[in-house]
Amino acid sequence: MTYTVMGLCPRTGRTGLAIATVSLNVAAICPAVSRYGDLVCSQAYTNRKLGALGARCLTDGRTIEETVARMENEDPSFSYRQVGILTRAGRAAAHSGDDCMAWKGDVTGDGLVVMGNVLAGAHVIDAMAATFRETVDEHLEERLMLALEAGRDAGGQSVDDRHLSERSAGLVVYGWDADGYPELTEIDVRIDAHPTAVAELRRQYEMIRHLMIYQHMKADDPANLPATQTWEADHMAVAPPPPWYD
């Protein structure tokens, strides 16, 4: 009961993923990342070990085809899984098992994977893919967020023509670090339990996306780092004040 978009920014080399579902805590159990920032996502009847296995295979230098084959070989219930893979080089693959609940399916392309199950129809992932492709001038995190919202607005999840509200969602982007840390997160926002999780993801993302600059300052120039409340007041239009400063 999940829909997901995985994308690559060719300008920056960053990879990222946005996901939403009626289930709880989705961003903690479905995505995985390799040492090189390659993405793996296991959903539908989620097997968390598949994400870890896929990430290990890609870290070890296995191809996408070899990685999917290893997953299938290791999991006797692979027909119940939906899996997406996107490498830092932009190679993409997806598997939507025959025993995943309808409607299920996926779209793959250069630097893009969109997949979902228990959806209102194919138009949901088509809308997500189209939105991602049409927003190439935006930052990767915004493209992923817009694609996720497009899936929601196209009908999202549905059973017997009954819409299922998104109760958890997540957005994660991995940066490209020339020093050798491509798996470091730039954006990582998770909504584990909320009646309108995609809308809440947007609200929190709008705050947290500004913190990327501050986090880099912490690492690169801690001696001249302004206090948290000072930086937030100067750079964030909306920011909850840290309670310890009250």
114 touches 104 (CB < 8 A): no
- Domains of the chain, each with CATH number or no CATH: 2-209 (3.60.20.10)
DSSP SS3 for 219? helix
State the pTM of this model.
Answer: 0.93
| Cα angle, residue 165 at apex, residues 161 and 170 outer, rounded to 5° | 130
pLDDT of residue 198: 98
What are the tens digits of pLDDT across the range 68-81?
A: 999 999 999 999 99
Rounded-to-integer distance, Cα 187 and Cα 205, Å? 8
pLDDT of residue 216: 76
Overall average pLDDT of the 5-12 stretch:
95
Percent of the chain with pLDDT over 90: 77
**Which helix (H) or strand (E) element contains residue 42?**
strand 39-44
Rounded-to-integer distance, Cα 223 and Cα 108, Å? 45
